[in-house]
Chains A and B, each alone.
Chain A
Amino acid sequence: MSGPIRQGHWHKSRRSILRIGAAMAGGAVLGPAAGAAEMENSPPGEPDWTKAIGAGVVDRPYGRPAEFEKDVIRRNVPWLTATPESSVSFTPLQSLDGIITPNGLFFERYHAGRADVDPHQHRLLIHGLVERPLVLTMDDIMRFPSVSRIHFIECPANGGMEWREAQLNSLQFTHGMLSCAEWTGVKLSTLLDEVGLKKEAKWVMVEGADAARMNRSLPLEKCLDDCLVVYGQNGEALRPEQGYPLRLLVPGWEGNVSVKWLRRIKIGDEPWFSREETSKYTELMPDGKARGFTWVNEAKSVITSPCPEKPVAAPGLYEVRGLAWSGHGKVKAVDVSFDGGVNWHSAQLQEPILSKALTRFTIPWRWDGQPALLESRVVDETGYVQPTIAELRKVRGKNPIYHNNSIQTWQIKPDGKVFDVQLG
């Protein structure tokens, strides 16, 4: 190949990039112009991107998704909270595959905004009923024996807006306070062994370095069982949104206790009854009583395709896909109904099936174009069966806010559109 031809390719390539850029800026990726380009770039035509070499390595030293995926982002519900600093954003579950949430799409929950912490100045203080109170740097923490484990984190308010009635026509907003990652860190039990627990030790307070100094109490047994103090998220350092440089990970329990920007662990003999475990994260029952220390996220599942964001195109064969998880351990089975819970069919579980992690399920479905009511129902390894919203309301009323793990119903209309509904 001669130099001038290559030069020509470069020019064409740059023009193509400009053209795509202009279309993106106008928000008209699939407009008429793009339609013409699609014909040019589909068989029998040779696509533009085969006609010139692309950008070289380190063009993007830290990679990013394709421009065409720009709609796949965390989103919030503006009317839900007074400020974005004390609020939540939702993971776009409708656009994700597998069980791992990409770090840039992991849902956010802040009580006083995202703390941007300098890891060189960050310290973890462990004190209270211990033999050797310690101050640890990040370097110190990373020297301890490390483990990597895959676990979900779910805010217990996930689905909270649906207790009263079906409100949000979107998988992202009904279920998106849920994400799953591979976490790397040190077992909390290792750190507690290192400081030496006094025999009166029964409870552990964990506190963040955010502007809320958010704190929660945990029973010592859970801390010694499977809690991790983590610095790694899907192979890289935690994102600031998830507590960089250090967070607690309490597998299977309500997300709030997995305190981010972890700076202090204090050992005591009684719970603290902090604001986040009295005023918040407690469930008001119909008789006026409230439940506290309801930590476990009980088993839950949801169909992710189809869903309101992913309607059905036309009658034909589809793979129905979804996610199931349990704070008590592994998913044992998932059943799917196409008729609003009259009859159920066993779905296929996809490997890996891990304890307190998201698990994928699939089931083939031939849609005949008739109205349908799609539901999924998980059974976990304890034998617990996911309840309907009617069953939950019978016991807990409509005002608990937290721990709505009910079966989700998606209504399929004859035009293939999908709506969030509740059955009576």
Chain B
Amino acid sequence: MLLLSGFAADAAGPGYFGYGKPATPAEIAGWNIDVHGQDGVGLPDGKGTIDHGADVFAQQCAACHGTFGEGEGRYPKLMGGESTLKGDRPEPSVGSYWPYVPTLFDYINRAMPLSAPHTLSADDVYAVVAYILNFNNIVPANFVADRDSLPKVKMPNRNNFTWKDPRPDTAAKECMKDCVDPKAVKIISSAEGKDLTPKTTGPLDTMGN
């Protein structure tokens, strides 16, 4: 009985169950790759120039993202789109949208290149970040990326994010009768006749892709 009630206790305290093994510093170091986007805490040793970044980018990134980050096919653009964010067709890119530079290091380091993620050296990642910032006209040609310089780069869109959820931002009522004028009920948009919907019967529809 005592054992049973002990097992069910929620706030039993550290080490109560005693399962698993203490994580060693070496184990933690192998996986501890995360970088804080805002202040760059976690950025590793190393540095990279724009020239070196252009070489690495041409070999590792340009096939999908284009030589200057202009994008290939449906792969993401990494540049452009300044002053489009309030428009009808916004083009968010690293240059026009991303708020923090260390996030760029973190993401490239953990997930890129798509076909061989996490294979670039820290120096190469720093260099690619410098090159991307340069073709977005955010840093000058002599910029060197490292753990001190990256957090200091101010992205143009940095102050346009709010990190507190303002919802609910609608106030619909549970009206049951005569809620709108029947004459005002108008279809303004229909999916009918648009050639966008894959078939939902038969084999998977590749739509010619």
B86 touches which one: A288, A340, A345, A421 (CB < 8 A)?
Answer: A288
The answer to whether B201 touches A343, judged by C-beta atoms less than 8 angstroms apart, is no
Q: List, sorted by A's number, 27 A–B pairs whose CB atoms are closer than 8 Å.
A: A71-B201, A75-B205, A86-B114, A112-B111, A134-B21, A165-B189, A166-B189, A167-B196, A169-B191, A193-B11, A193-B13, A213-B118, A273-B37, A274-B34, A284-B85, A289-B162, A290-B97, A291-B161, A291-B162, A292-B161, A292-B162, A293-B163, A298-B167, A420-B190, A422-B188, A423-B185, A424-B187
Interface residues of A in 154-169 (CB under 8 A from B): 165-169
Does B45 interact with chain A (Cβ within 8 Å)? Answer: no
Does A108 interact with chain B (Cβ within 8 Å)? Answer: no
Bound: A133/B167 CA distance, A: 36
Query: Beyond A272-B37, A288-B160, A296-B167, is A133–B179 a contact (Cβ under 8 Å)?
Result: no
The answer to whether A273 touches B99, judged by C-beta atoms less than 8 angstroms apart, is yes
Query: Distance (Å) between the CB of A227 and the closest chain B CB?
Result: 14
Bound: A214/B36 CA distance, A: 14
The answer to whether A145 touches B8, judged by C-beta atoms less than 8 angstroms apart, is yes
B170 touches which one: A187, A196, A344, A387 (CB < 8 A)?
Answer: A387
Q: Which residues of B contact A211 (CB under 8 A)?
A: 111, 117
Bound: A342/B185 CA distance, A: 8
The number of A-B residue pairs with CB atoms under 8 Å apart is 284
A127 touches which one: B8, B32, B160 (CB < 8 A)?
Answer: B32
The answer to whether B27 touches A278, judged by C-beta atoms less than 8 angstroms apart, is no
Bound: A173/B161 CA distance, A: 30
Does A222 interact with chain B (Cβ within 8 Å)? Answer: no
Query: Beyond A131-B14, A169-B192, A293-B165, is A215–B38 a contact (Cβ under 8 Å)?
Result: no
Q: Which residues of A contact B33 (CB under 8 A)?
A: 213
Query: Chain A interface residue count: which class?
Result: 35 or more
Q: List the one stretch of B46-54, B100-108, B126-134, B141-149 in contact with chain A.
A: B100-108
Interface residues of A in 312-366 (CB under 8 A from B): 333, 335, 339-346
Closest to B111 in A: A212
Closest to B74 in A: A82
The answer to whether A140 touches B19, judged by C-beta atoms less than 8 angstroms apart, is yes
Bound: A264/B173 CA distance, A: 43
The answer to whether A287 touches B22, judged by C-beta atoms less than 8 angstroms apart, is no
Bound: A159/B90 CA distance, A: 19
The answer to whether A78 touches B198, judged by C-beta atoms less than 8 angstroms apart, is yes
Enumerate the 3 nearest inter-chain pairs by beta-carbon distance, A residue then B residue, closest first.
A196-B14, A273-B37, A424-B188
The answer to whether B176 touches A335, judged by C-beta atoms less than 8 angstroms apart, is yes
The answer to whether A341 touches B185, judged by C-beta atoms less than 8 angstroms apart, is yes
Bound: A272/B41 CA distance, A: 9
Q: List the one stretch of A40-48, A50-58, A390-398 in contact with chain B.
A: A390-398
Closest to A142 in B: B19
Query: Distance (Å) between the CB of B125 and the closest chain A CB?
Result: 13
The answer to whether A340 touches B185, judged by C-beta atoms less than 8 angstroms apart, is yes
The answer to whether A379 touches B174, judged by C-beta atoms less than 8 angstroms apart, is yes
Bound: A170/B64 CA distance, A: 31
Bound: A344/B100 CA distance, A: 47
Does A96 interact with chain B (Cβ within 8 Å)? Answer: no
Q: Which residues of A contact B (CB under 8 A)?
A: 27, 71, 73, 75-79, 81-83, 85-86, 92, 94, 111-112, 125-127, 131-137, 140-141, 143-145, 165-170, 172-173, 187, 189-190, 193-196, 205, 207, 211-215, 263-264, 266, 268, 270-275, 278-279, 282, 284, 286-296, 298, 308-309, 333, 335, 339-346, 373, 377, 379, 384-388, 391-392, 395-396, 398-399, 403, 411, 419-424
The answer to whether B22 touches A132, judged by C-beta atoms less than 8 angstroms apart, is yes
Q: Which residues of A contact B163 (CB under 8 A)?
A: 271, 292-293
Query: Distance (Å) between the CB of A288 and the closest chain B CB?
Result: 4
The answer to whether B19 touches A136, judged by C-beta atoms less than 8 angstroms apart, is yes
Interface residues of B in 163-209 (CB under 8 A from A): 163-170, 172-182, 185-192, 194, 196-198, 200-202, 204-207, 209
The answer to whether A284 touches B92, judged by C-beta atoms less than 8 angstroms apart, is yes
Bound: A298/B172 CA distance, A: 13
Bound: A278/B76 CA distance, A: 15
A78 touches which one: B37, B166, B209 (CB < 8 A)?
Answer: B209
Query: Beyond A170-B197, A399-B90, A411-B190, is A194–B17 a contact (Cβ under 8 Å)?
Result: yes
Q: Which residues of B contact A173 (CB under 8 A)?
A: 197-198, 200
Q: Which residues of B contact A79 (CB under 8 A)?
A: 196, 207, 209
The answer to whether A420 touches B185, judged by C-beta atoms less than 8 angstroms apart, is no
Does B1 interact with chain A (Cβ within 8 Å)? Answer: no
Bound: A85/B104 CA distance, A: 21
Query: Beyond A273-B38, A411-B187, is A125–B200 a contact (Cβ under 8 Å)?
Result: no
Bound: A85/B111 CA distance, A: 13
The answer to whether A421 touches B187, judged by C-beta atoms less than 8 angstroms apart, is yes
Q: Which residues of B contact A75 (CB under 8 A)?
A: 198, 200, 204-205
Closest to A74 in B: B204
